[in-house]
Structure 1
Amino acid sequence: MVCDEYQQLTSEALEAARIAVNKYMITNAGRDFFHIRMRPHPFNVIRINKTLSCAGADRLSSGMRGAFGKAYGTAARVNIGQVLISVRTKEEKSNIAIEALRRAKFKFPGRQKIHVSSKWGFTNFTKDDYLKWKACGRLVPDGTTVKWLSSRGPLYRLIGRRQYALVGVSRRRQVPVGVSRMQRHVAKTANAAWLSVVERGRARASVDVTRRQLAVRICAAPPQGSVGVSKGIGRRQSAVKIFAAPPVRKELCDVVGVMCVAGLRTWYVGGTDAGFGYVDTPIKYQDHLLTRTLSYLFQHAYYAQLLVLPWNQSWDYSYEALAMVTCLQDLRLQAILAAYLALAALACHGIRLRGSCPAVILGIGLVVIPFVPASNLFFLVGTTIGERLLYPLTVGWSVLVAAIGSRCAGGKSPSLRLAAGALLATYVVNSNIRMSHWRGNSELFLQDAKHWGRSVKVVHAQASEYQARGQLQEALEYYQRSLDIFDDQAITDYCIARILINLGRFQEAHVRFDKILTGHGIGLHDGNDFLWMTDLGYLLVQLGADKEGAHYLQEGLNRMAYSCYGWNALGVAQARQGTLEQAVVSLTEGLRCDPESAVIWSNLAAVYAFGNAGPQASDALQQAIALNASHPVVVHNMRALTGEAHGQQPRFDLYIPLPGRR
């Protein structure tokens, strides 16, 4: 029950309403099948007026308290929309609860409304969320409500035993291992060992327990890649001290155990094949080991460049975005050497400072370890360059920069602060520029095509954007650029053929389809082959090959029936072959798809006319005239069917819209 008035309700009125609800529910639902919760609290004290009947009587009135009157009762201040009474019961008894609350409305002045809540009982969770979190074991009973356990904080808080916190990292539900999930899994497992080495390097006799909690919490980070550290870290709240570091043998056993569990899980579950083609990941299709190794190492160097100075990013690094390194004389080997030498120098610097500044080696570990699954060195990844794979690495880079900057901040040279300021300004400017590119496909594809003109998919995407906007000549130019980079692309050839059909260059379009059918079919599969089948059938009907065109049209329409121009072309092909009944069926299907097409109505009128169905032909012609009386074919068929043009037969017409339209 929700109050619809701004008023005060006395405790007597609230109690009367509670009694009314309770009595009706006990009588009709049963004593053990409901729970009433009174939501307002009558904290406001109501007092009687102060009485003065004679001289000196102001002190004689019972209950006088100075300037206040005698306490008379209590009331609850209620706002509009505030809940007054909540009843928790079974769904089959909800009508009884509604009636009980309706009767309780008579105990209050003003207007009240009754609503059926979407929440589970008195909790703040919907029914679906409550069942989901309860199945996960994330809900703890808390009286009439429940407490929700978040995934942040130490893992032993959820599983009950602290010594199993690291092993619990590997105990996840049995689902196929993706690249991002495997990256998080390896990072969390190895970070425990890395932090143990960092902690041992400080060689202190007394180690605060909060550092151990930090290691456990990093390993038990949420699955989205964010590192959750509870509020107790860094506050020195715990007085428990560890006076002796645990033995190395025990730590090694823990790490080996975690790795064994992770390996067993990976072996049992197995991986998933990304299924990317040659255009997406051309390196793994190379025969020479040297080419594959050098190309993957160059990708590592480019990852490092994106991590340190991300500039001119791309939404897709496909074929020829980063040309493969095929020989040792390639100058891009300098980038590989620079990246790995810089990493080695930072690692040596971190080991040297592991006692006084362990954050340096910690940051390096948070960069290197999460990158291992994405390096293509131990198993293949279904991407060339994935900028999203740098999200966990950014945490380590931030820790590393902060550690080095804080250690060198005491120097008198202003060069470090100047460099840090320049780096921060670069990040801010690049972030704002890149975010502006992601406002829409048009801006994103245009900017990436300017800087990544050798990326096959980037150039193709820009061409498709031009084609969707009706700029066919520009789209044709960009599609041809994509083919110049890599010629074996059936999707690009199909798009070019579709543009040529729209431009009326049918013979050139037929050459493109011949190229696709003779072996250049990369990119076409069972999920999109209806595209080329429908358009090839339309093209053949346009060229006069009605029988062959009808075959392709039927195959394409069986796979995807929502093609208005395809049904129209199929009906025309069938009518030309003399199968008028089938033509009527096909044209009728086209009208179901697009009932406002004057061309289809005109063709249907012509079919009825050839079948000597005069009334049907007249009705179809009237529909075509009502939709577009100025269309040339509609005008011709009107003259032919009404007898104004003696000796002329009705004509059929074909049409094909621009992509994205009917």
Structure 2
Amino acid sequence: MTDPGATTAHQPAAPVPSPTENTANPAPGVIDGEARKDHSRTKPDEDLAETQPPHGHKREDGIVSVHCLVLWLGCIGLVVLSSGVFYRCRHYTDWFVDELFAVVRNADARGETPLKEVLSNDFWGNRLHFEEGQGWTHKSYRPLTILSYAAQIKWGWGWGGNTGVPDARPLRLFNCVLHTSNSLLVLALQVVVCGVPPLLAAASSGLFAAHPVHTENIVYLVGRADALATFFYLAGALAYFGMQKGGAKRHTTRSTEATSLIVAVACSILAGLSKETGFTLPVFLAACEMILFPPSLWRCSGLLASFLCLFKLRSALVGGTQVGFSPVDTPIPYESSRLTRWLSYMNLHRIYFGLMVLPWNLCWDYSYDSVPMVTSITDPRCIQTLLVYALLFSGGVYGLLAIRWPQRHVPQLVRCLIHPLRGCSGGSQGQQPLLDNTISAEEKPTEDTSSASAADEDVSSEREGSTVPASPAEEEAVEEHADVSKGTTVDQAAARDVFGGEENGENGENGKDGRARPTPGAQLLMGLSFIIVPFMPASNVFFTVGTVIGERLLYPSTVGWSLVLSAIGGLLWGPGEARSAGCRRGRRVAVLAAYMAFLLLLGGWYVWRSAVRVEQWSSRASLFVADARVNPRSAKVLHMYAATLHSSGRYDEALRWYNESLAIFDDNALTDYAVIQIYLVQNRFRDAYERFQKVLGGHFNGFGNFNRWLLLIDFGFTLIVLERYAEGIPVISEGLSLMSEAAYAQNALAYAHYKTGSLDKALDAILHAIRLESGNWVVWNNAAVVAATGGRIDYGMSCLQQAAERCGGTSAADSRGQAVLAHNARLMQQQQQQQSQGIAGGVGGAGYRFELFYPQTH
């Protein structure tokens, strides 16, 4: 379409058809049954307009195509570069917390179990179904994520040389690439579905790409589940909207609708098998049906019914939604007051909102007592929570008012709800409220539009009879009136000039298919839906979540935050005569430029904060030190910081921080057990025994059937060291029946049998220990002692020789070992001489040194 201001005074006006004239072929000013006066062109001008490129650019030797290509490459490059802040983690080799359980120690993730078994286990490799009291499951069913780990490891993408241990670096690189792909899908969703101008879409998508809370989804391998689910979520939304749009151009049929529904359900299944939030895709699409398209009962019913079926099937597969989490991980459900529970849960929503908008303080864990309970409605945090809810609700209402539905498609319920708000949305007298932007494809021009066109006609008529050139002010008035008469404002033209994309005003008009294309109001509602719907499984509204706050859970919701930011930009220049009347191009361009500057500043801060957070994740020590500063009231964070000191041999410092954690939550058996381990390493066996009495008299928080063997083995070990063999042997034997791969425990059991004279049992246990740790001189020495005590001197000398070969170092431990071996070798030679002289030695009476050992870390 040519510029309205470019018409000349001598052009004739379009002929007005008489009432008797056949209207089957409408005049040039009548398009799709909607009467529109156009005084700016003739029929030849229309033909010329069809050959002109969109957005007011002139086609000159392919310059427009080159400019568009450069624009798109720049937008894609901006998004990719924004996600590049996370790629530093591809060099990180440490394993963090739950990665050990989800990947390193999970046979499913290592590709060592058949597919059928993978589909029968939860995310951590535990059986979903078991006899009561025989196991425990988290009920986090994510086989597609597990298979992604297994594919990398089994096909050689995740192995660290020939060590047999997975390498974390390629696994993290995959997460980086996955996140970049998601960022580009967000860009496509905004441009293709929402019609956001490319530069604005690139800026807001870049904010998603650089969002600091995504650090957990990229560096922390457990967070891959959320990113993978979001990938299928976005792919399903793009496919569904694309099929709906394509079907509308070809007059949508039932088969097209059915195909789009099948595609949506398939993507929802893939997303849900990656993370539970993926099953909410049909709910999100049903919400968008009400926002973007003429409401279809058939499509909405199909989407909601598919969601209910998927939810029921998933719930039946995992055995419901109730899981017995510990009070350390989820303290709120253990509160006796229902009011306290609900106020505390709502307070978590406030914290999540803050992390989504401006994530200043980030932490790996928010367990007890990171977020104190809200026990009363007088707590100031309740006001902040209500403000968050009010902000989301007002955004939804504003978006609802700004939607440009065809009048015949506005739901009656919506009309009843928003009709009283007309006065609030209109402004001064003579201005049209946003609600009146709803139009009908059949209705004729409104009075305001007709008057605007009439004004253009009057001005043009005056120009025809005058030789005086028009003043700049008059030309600007003519241009503005002409733009309004065609449903296009000067502000939207300014938006085109600034952003280089299709203005939302055109998208807001109703096309031939009768649907309401996404206006900024629709984009706002769509963004809010993308924030709320995927977050519902993590909201604790319907069932208890296994964490207080999980930053990685916000991954899909930040897509909605990106859509909201682009919608706000669209609302600054979006359609609506009430907002744009009287505005001038310079002022609108300034507003748009200021908003773009704000997005760039926010994006720069996101990049900086993400870079700092990625650096903190470079090692376990740096992560837990940083998180202990941010969250000094988290019992779990302090425990993990102490565990880092523990693993590095700084036992006294570790004891201090373990006790700090217990000062916050004293009933955590895992922390007490860590203290016991240090006591055993330091040979403080009496202190270890007393701490065991506390653990055994408590609630075993942190222990279950899957790790109870740790307590049994170490408690039995302590009893044996304290020479309480009758008590220690059955305890340690029970522990070894649950987990037999503990060499130090097999060695301790052999020691107890040796001391009680059961040499055969002692030899069996020590040989088992040798099979587990054949490179340990202690077990070879003890095998020699048991054999020699039983009179098998030759076998004992052979075992002693094996021990000597493994104890040839110069460390203090090796020096001590060499002294033990020399002592036992001397006694063995004496016993051999006695046997040659016919003198028999008593059992254990030769003075051999049987050594116990306890691993520094295990």
TM-score over 0.5 for the pair: yes
Partner amino acid, structure 1, of 2:282: K
Matched, 1:655 2:655: no
Alignment match of 1:402 (pick from 566, 571, 585): 566
C-alpha distance in 2 between matches for 1:599 and 1:416:
71
Is the Cα–Cα contact under 8 Å of residues 298 and 336 in structure 1 kept in the other structure?
yes
C-alpha distance in 2 between matches for 1:428 and 1:304:
19
Matched, 1:641 2:828: yes
Q: How has the CA–CA distance of structure 1 residues 435 and 161 changed in structure 2, closer, same or farther, with 3 Å as cutoff?
A: farther
Q: Deviations over 1:412-440 (max 9, x none)?
A: 46864554343222211111112222333
Deviation at 1:510, TM superposition (A): 0.6
C-alpha distance in 1 between matches for 2:540 and 2:786:
62
Deviation at 1:499, TM superposition (A): 0.7
Q: Structure 2, unaligned stretches of length 5 or more? A: 1-153, 156-234, 248-252, 405-518, 574-587, 809-814, 835-844
Q: Deviations over 1:570-590 (max 9, x none)?
A: 111101001111111111111
Q: Deviations over 1:498-551 (max 9, x none)?
A: 111101111111111112222331111221122122212221111111222222
Deviation at 1:324, TM superposition (A): 1.5
Partner amino acid, structure 2, of 1:338: L
Matched, 1:534 2:713: yes
Is the Cα–Cα contact under 8 Å of residues 268 and 281 in structure 2 kept in the other structure?
no
Partner of 1:475: 654
C-alpha distance in 1 between matches for 2:785 and 2:543:
63
Deviation at 1:447, TM superposition (A): 1.7
Alignment match of 1:349 (pick from 379, 398, 405): 398
Deviation at 1:408, TM superposition (A): 3.2
* Percent identity over paired residues: 34
Deviation at 1:595, TM superposition (A): 2.1
Q: How has the CA–CA distance of structure 1 residues 528 and 175 changed in structure 2, closer, same or farther, with 3 Å as cutoff?
A: farther
Equivalence map 1:476-625=2 (5 Å)? 476-625=655-804
C-alpha distance in 2 between matches for 1:399 and 1:518:
53
Q: How has the CA–CA distance of structure 1 residues 627 and 604 changed in structure 2, closer, same or farther, with 3 Å as cutoff?
A: same
C-alpha distance in 2 between matches for 1:254 and 1:464:
53
Partner amino acid, structure 1, of 2:822: V
C-alpha distance in 1 between matches for 2:325 and 2:594:
46
Q: TM-score, normalising length from structure 1?
A: 0.64
Number of equivalent positions: 464
Partner amino acid, structure 2, of 1:567: Q
Partner amino acid, structure 1, of 2:397: C
Is the Cα–Cα contact under 8 Å of residues 317 and 385 in structure 1 kept in the other structure?
yes
Deviation at 1:325, TM superposition (A): 0.8
Q: TM-score, normalising length from structure 2?
A: 0.50
Matched, 1:186 2:280: yes
Matched, 1:339 2:388: yes
C-alpha distance in 1 between matches for 2:599 and 2:820:
71
Deviation at 1:303, TM superposition (A): 0.9
Q: Structure 1, unaligned stretches of length 5 or more? A: 1-127, 130-149, 200-211, 213-245
**Matched residue SS, 1:561:** coil
Partner amino acid, structure 2, of 1:258: L
Is the Cα–Cα contact under 8 Å of residues 643 and 654 in structure 2 kept in the other structure?
yes
Judge which range, 376-385 or 415-424, deviates more.
415-424
Is the Cα–Cα contact under 8 Å of residues 454 and 485 in structure 1 kept in the other structure?
yes
C-alpha distance in 2 between matches for 1:421 and 1:474:
44
Is the Cα–Cα contact under 8 Å of residues 490 and 524 in structure 1 kept in the other structure?
yes
Q: How has the CA–CA distance of structure 1 residues 489 and 374 changed in structure 2, closer, same or farther, with 3 Å as cutoff?
A: same
Partner of 1:371: 535
Matched, 1:329 2:378: yes
Partner amino acid, structure 2, of 1:432: A
Deviation at 1:319, TM superposition (A): 1.8
Is the Cα–Cα contact under 8 Å of residues 616 and 623 in structure 2 kept in the other structure?
yes
Matched, 1:289 2:452: no
Partner of 2:239: 153
Partner of 2:524: 360
Is the Cα–Cα contact under 8 Å of residues 354 and 360 in structure 1 kept in the other structure?
no
Q: Deviations over 1:169-216 (max 9, x none)?
A: 6755998996985533334334334453x44xxxxxxxxxxxx6xxxx
Between Structure 1 and Structure 2, the one with more strand by share is 1
Is the Cα–Cα contact under 8 Å of residues 320 and 485 in structure 1 kept in the other structure?
yes
Deviation at 1:494, TM superposition (A): 1.1
Is the Cα–Cα contact under 8 Å of residues 268 and 282 in structure 2 kept in the other structure?
no
C-alpha distance in 2 between matches for 1:528 and 1:567:
18
C-alpha distance in 1 between matches for 2:301 and 2:282:
14
Q: Deviations over 1:112-164 (max 9, x none)?
A: xxxxxxxxxxxxxxxx99xxxxxxxxxxxxxxxxxxxx976345899992122
C-alpha distance in 2 between matches for 1:562 and 1:462:
28
Judge which range, 172-181 or 351-360, deviates more.
172-181
Partner of 1:262: 307
Deviation at 1:381, TM superposition (A): 2.9
Partner amino acid, structure 2, of 1:638: A
C-alpha distance in 2 between matches for 1:502 and 1:623:
26
Equivalence map 1:397-436=2 (5 Å)? 397-408=561-572, 410=588, 412=590, 416=595, 419-436=598-615
Deviation at 1:406, TM superposition (A): 4.1
Deviation at 1:350, TM superposition (A): 2.3
Judge which range, 180-189 or 618-627, deviates more.
180-189
Partner of 1:70: none
C-alpha distance in 2 between matches for 1:618 and 1:372:
68
Deviation at 1:305, TM superposition (A): 0.2
Is the Cα–Cα contact under 8 Å of residues 170 and 185 in structure 1 kept in the other structure?
no
Equivalence map 1:242-253=2 (5 Å)? 251-253=296-298
Q: Deviations over 1:278-333 (max 9, x none)?
A: 22222122221111111111111011101101122222222212122111222212
C-alpha distance in 1 between matches for 2:620 and 2:644:
8
**Matched residue SS, 1:287:** coil
Alignment match of 2:361 (pick from 312, 327, 332): 312
C-alpha distance in 2 between matches for 1:274 and 1:169:
32
Q: How has the CA–CA distance of structure 1 residues 179 and 512 changed in structure 2, closer, same or farther, with 3 Å as cutoff?
A: farther
Partner of 2:634: 455
C-alpha distance in 2 between matches for 1:293 and 1:439:
37
Partner of 2:495: none
Equivalence map 1:126-145=2 (5 Å)? none
Matched, 1:168 2:262: yes
Q: How has the CA–CA distance of structure 1 residues 174 and 387 changed in structure 2, closer, same or farther, with 3 Å as cutoff?
A: closer
Q: How has the CA–CA distance of structure 1 residues 330 and 165 changed in structure 2, closer, same or farther, with 3 Å as cutoff?
A: farther
Partner of 1:389: 553
Q: How has the CA–CA distance of structure 1 residues 161 and 425 changed in structure 2, closer, same or farther, with 3 Å as cutoff?
A: same
Is the Cα–Cα contact under 8 Å of residues 553 and 570 in structure 1 kept in the other structure?
yes
Is the Cα–Cα contact under 8 Å of residues 746 and 769 in structure 2 kept in the other structure?
yes
C-alpha distance in 2 between matches for 1:457 and 1:481:
11
Partner amino acid, structure 2, of 1:532: L
C-alpha distance in 2 between matches for 1:372 and 1:619:
66
Q: How has the CA–CA distance of structure 1 residues 577 and 430 changed in structure 2, closer, same or farther, with 3 Å as cutoff?
A: same
Q: How has the CA–CA distance of structure 1 residues 586 and 264 changed in structure 2, closer, same or farther, with 3 Å as cutoff?
A: closer
Aligned-residue CA RMSD in angstroms?
A: 3.3
Partner of 2:142: none
